[in-house]
Amino acid sequence: MSITAEARLLQISAASNPSSKWERVIKLEQGVYSVKNKEKTGGSLDIRVPKDQAEGFVNNKRERYKFRFCKVFDQETTQEEIFENIALPVADSVLDGYNGTIFAYGQTDSGKTFTISGGPERYIDRGIIPRTLSYLFQRLDQESNMIYSTHISYMEIYNETAYDLLDSRNEESRLEDLPKVVITEDAEQNVQIRNLSCHQAATEEEALNLFFLGDTNRVIAETPVNHASTRSHCIFTIHLCRREPGSATLRRSKLHLVDLAGSDRASKTGLSGHLLTEAKYINVSLLYLEQVIIALSEMNRTHIPYRNSLLTFLLKDSLGGNCMTTMIATLSLDKGNIDESISTCRYAQRVAVIKNEAVLNEELDPVLLIARLKRENQLLKEQLAMVTEEQRDDKLTMEESQKLEELVKAFLYDPDPDVVLSLGPDMRKIQHCFSLLKVTYD
Ligand SMILES: Nc1ncnc2c1ncn2[C@@H]1O[C@H](COP(=O)(O)OP(=O)(O)OP(=O)(O)O)[C@@H](O)[C@H]1O
């Protein structure tokens, strides 16, 4: 189905943090949808079902549906506004060391891919992925005092099987022939992923190239039977690792940007053959996603059924727990889609009630930690020797003096502010180094 000239698109965000500054009331055409955004109460969407509504299976007895969201974006909203309102706060929290997920849910052709990836024709139509990459690299470049690394992975889940969109064999093989991505859990119940490549991207350009490569591979894999964009879930992940120079504390965080399969496929009746199989898989995975979301919103729930589907298993640490999750529900304003729009809104409202306790992902880099402990150990040994050993009074050899010069040079030019000039308990060496430093600074 393609968008006709009169079709209008509307995007709704059911984000968890209503901080919108703008406030406006828009009466949309057809008198069917009206949108209000208020700074204090957030956004609301009114759907009035016309009495003569014949299409779909909307119950005509009820004529008015009102949904509240953190924000509601009408079809005039630019991609930049969507980025600033939805993705930027999540990107900021990822930079602070928290995990983040943004996913787009909605019926086919309602604008999920447009929102997450962007439109193909104009630069201003860039979606959340390229804008977020650009923002993250800009921020990382500004913080030149931080050491960071970024990695990208891109995966597709089709018929409950996951594939690596960045696998280099993608160009020659069909998606179905590639090794399947396997998701398991370790003893601590952390999700482990096999057969998914994770590529380092040192610059925005490198990261964008990986994004384009994944998208191209997705298109190559499409056949008339497997129109992947509509029938698969796509997960673009940015992995970030940051550390201050000299610090042994690493902050690891990741941002999943998820373009879900068209939700209407799940409810279409009269399908047969492979279409029916696909619909069943989509139906089941979106149903499990919903079940997990509902379970997360219930207080005192001890078991969350993440393992029921690949999607929820993969997003285990990205829906509940240690993550900031934002859902964008996209609606198509075509009159015939009112039933789908209502069902999308209901789904989005259930997602909006999740309250996550986001936890900072800090850990110690074992290599740096060992180096630091060795240094401390050496210092302690030297201090001990200083008070227990006898001092020598013979002259330093030529070799010893040269070695000390090298040590002083290395100390002076090391960018690490915590670097230590370790000389041992020998007072002759300490005095010699002071003389060298005096010469350098005279
Ligand atoms: N906000 C928008 N402004 C302009 N064009 C849009 C907008 N949203 C979507 N479109 C256009 O509508 C068409 C369908 O959008 P898109 O492919 O993003 O839908 P989708 O929900 O991802 O569909 P599918 O489930 O098939 O992947 C595309 O041609 C896209 O460029």
Let me know: does 95 contact 139? Beta carbons within 8 Å: yes
- CA distance linking residue 235 with residue 311, whole number of Å: 9
Give nearest CA residue, ligand 1 atom 9.
Answer: 111
* Cα dihedral across residues 322, 281, 198, 185: positive or negative: positive
| φ, ψ of residue 341 in degrees (nearest 5) | -60, -45
- Residue 359 is predicted with a pLDDT of 55
Backbone angles phi, psi at 110, to 5 degrees: -95, -5
Backbone angles phi, psi at 127, to 5 degrees: -95, -165
Residues with CB under 6 A from ligand 1: 3, 9, 106, 108-114, 119, 229-230, 262, 330
Q: Which atom of ligand 1 is nearest to the CA of 262?
A: 25
324 CA to middle of ligand 1, Å? 25
User: Positive or negative, the Cα torsion across 349, 285, 357, 154?
Assistant: negative
Tell me the three state secondary structure of residue 34: strand
Helices (H), 298-359: 310-314, 316-319, 338-352
Question: What is the Cα–Cα distance from 249 to 258, expressed in whole angstroms?
Answer: 29
* Interval between CA 276 and ligand 1 midpoint (Å): 23
The domains located in the chain, with CATH, are 9-364 (3.40.850.10), 366-441 (no CATH)
Mutate to test the pocket of ligand 1, among 10, 72, 81, 109 (most ligand atoms within 8 A of CB): 109
Q: Is 352 in contact with 327 (CB distance < 8 Å)?
A: yes
282-318 pLDDT, tens digit per residue, is: 778 888 887 887 787 676 777 888 888 899 888 887 7
pLDDT by residue, tens only, the chain of 442 residues: 221 212 224 555 544 333 333 333 344 445 677 777 777 667 778 888 776 655 555 555 567 888 888 788 888 889 999 999 899 999 998 998 888 889 898 888 888 999 999 988 899 999 999 999 999 999 998 887 888 899 999 999 988 889 899 987 766 666 667 788 998 888 877 888 888 999 999 999 999 999 999 988 876 555 444 455 567 899 999 999 988 887 778 888 999 999 998 877 555 555 566 666 777 777 788 888 878 877 876 767 778 888 888 998 888 877 766 678 888 889 887 777 888 888 888 888 776 654 555 555 556 666 666 777 777 787 787 777 777 766 677 788 888 899 999 988 888 887 777 777 888 778 888 888 888 888 877 7
Report how far ligand 1's centroid is from the alpha carbon of 47 (Å): 21
CB 378 within 8 A of CB 386: no
Q: How far is CA 195 from the centre of its chain?
A: 19
Pairing of strands 323-332, 99-106: parallel
Backbone angles phi, psi at 11, to 5 degrees: -120, 135
Q: How far apart are CA 184 and CA 250, in angstroms?
A: 25
Contact of 210 with 154, CB cutoff 8 Å: yes
Ligand 1 centroid–CA 283 distance in Å is 21
Taking the complete model, does pTM exceed 0.95, yes or no?
no
Burial class (CB in 10 A: 0-12, 13-18, 19+), 440: exposed
Distance, in Å, from the CA atom of 103 to the CA atom of 96, rounded to the nearest integer, reads 20
Among 212, 210, 193, 197, smallest CA distance to 167 is for 197
- Partnered with residue 193 across adjacent β-strands are 183
The predicted structure's pLDDT at residue 171: 66
Residues 409, 403: Cα–Cα separation, whole Å: 10
**Is residue 398 classed exposed, middle or buried when 0-12, 13-18 and 19+ CB atoms within 10 A define those classes?**
exposed
**DSSP E strand boundaries for 85-160:** 99-106, 147-158
- pLDDT tens-digit readout, 86-135: 999 999 989 988 888 898 988 888 889 999 999 888 999 999 999 999 99
